[in-house]
Amino acid sequence: MANVAVVGAQWGDEGKGKIVDWLSSRADVVVRFQGGHNAGHTLVINGTEHRLSLLPSGVVRPGKLAVIGNGVVIDPWALLAEIDGFADKGLAITPDNLMIAENATLILPIHGAVDRAREEACGDRKLGTTGRGIGPAYEDKVARRAIRVCDLADPQLLAERIDGILLHHNALLRGLGAPEIAAQTVADQLAEIAPRLLPFAGVVWQRLDADRRAGKRLLFEGAQGAMLDVDHGTYPFVTSSNTVAGQAATGSGMGPGAVGRVLGICKAYTTRVGAGPFPTELSDEIGARLGERGREFGTVTGRRRRCGWFDAVLVRQAVKVGGINGIALTKLDVLDGLSTLKVAVGYRLGDATLDHLPALPSAQAAVTPIYEEFDGWSASTRGARTWAQLPATAIKYIRRIEELIEAPVTLLSTSPERDDTIVVTDPFAD
């Protein structure tokens, strides 16, 4: 059986949580490989809503191992609060069902302070970060001054790491007129949480290699989406990590050949949160209707998502740079009742016609979409579990999307419930 990596093919919020949860019934191990607690997944199981931030989606299924890989930046307080929240619901998260990479980077309170102070200083030029310290933590990792999970076991090394981080970040806070943070405060905070966090730490790359050799099925869970990738997204309005499937290997300690099939998730329309270019954005009543029917609010932040027509140019680009083999199309039911639908099939930039989103920010902001129109459908698609339950015009819409993005729709989600899914091709099948 193949391993599978699940990645977003738009700007995140595509419904990866439900798809990963659905796939996890076929997997033995579910691995988060990038991002932080700014990425949220909502699962609806038997009518009960579960909101995940750092924990891999497979953690809600008994008998599965959930893994947080080295590519994730971890706010230990947020993680422990999430674990406690599940305990309150009767779901025990223990070292038996959760493993954290010992070499994963920690997010500290100073990272959040720096994140928020910088955003405030930017004024109208804000990037739209969540202010949770994700970016500054990744910066520390690349600058080789980060505190990692394993460092909590070595007090002397930890003290040196704290001094190094504060030397850099306190200077920045001072320059921005924000309060500085004392080394002893950080040391006390980490000393308090270390006994709870360290039992989850382990050699993730070694465990995953052993599981793979034993024939276990691995499911790699991405956060955000391809258009938020720090290299391939709408820079600088992106996240601070690589979100495409190549990161599944480096963010978990596996070789590229072990990742297997790549499943991209995208909505039947388009959304994004925060600032940045959005060629197909709708600021009219249709955009408002998509947002209302799709419940387009961030799982973690509660921020309203911007909504627009499906952008085949962006998704095709995500398919190419992300190595996507097939698409899981979600929220088709949100389009029910619209008489006419539009899909962007290209862009105009001045006198030029483009088949991709350019890298230059000013060009990204200036492109206008070239649309192809489709007849909508009045019948409900919500809860459909077979093609026969879909209106003919909905099937036509899906087939044209496949042609435009140059990838097949292998799964179709018709509601937040895990079983309201049409399976065209099992992603785990060889």
What's the burial of 51, exposed, middle or buried (CB within 10 Å: 0-12/13-18/19+)?
middle
- What is the DSSP secondary-structure string of 284-307? SHHHHHHHHHTT-B-TTT-PBPEE
Annotated catalytic residue 13: yes
> Helices 76-88 and 183-197 meet at what angle, rounded to 10?
40
CA torsion sign, 348 to 350 to 354 to 359?
negative
Strands (E), 78-217: 98-101, 105-106, 201-202
Report d(CA 191, CA 196) in Å as an integer: 10
Q: Are 311 and 319 in contact (CB under 8 A)?
A: no
Residue appearing with tokens 């990037």: 127
Please, what is the Cα angle at 416 between 46 and 17, to 5 degrees? Answer: 100
Give Cα 66 to chain centroid, integer Å. 16
User: Which among 39, 205, 71 has a CA at the least distance from the CA of 138?
Assistant: 71
Q: Are 30 and 68 in contact (CB under 8 A)?
A: no
Report d(CA 414, CA 392) in Å as an integer: 15
Please give the C-alpha separations between residue 352 and each of 103, 347, 363, in angstroms, as whole numbers.
47, 8, 11
What residues contact 412, with CB distance under 8 A and at least 6 apart?
328, 329, 332, 384, 398, 421, 422, 424
User: Which among 214, 299, 251, 218 has a CA at the least distance from the CA of 26?
Assistant: 218
Residue appearing with tokens 């899914």: 421
Annotated catalytic residue 231: no
The one catalytic residue in 37, 41, 111, 169 is: 41
Residues that are catalytic: 13, 41
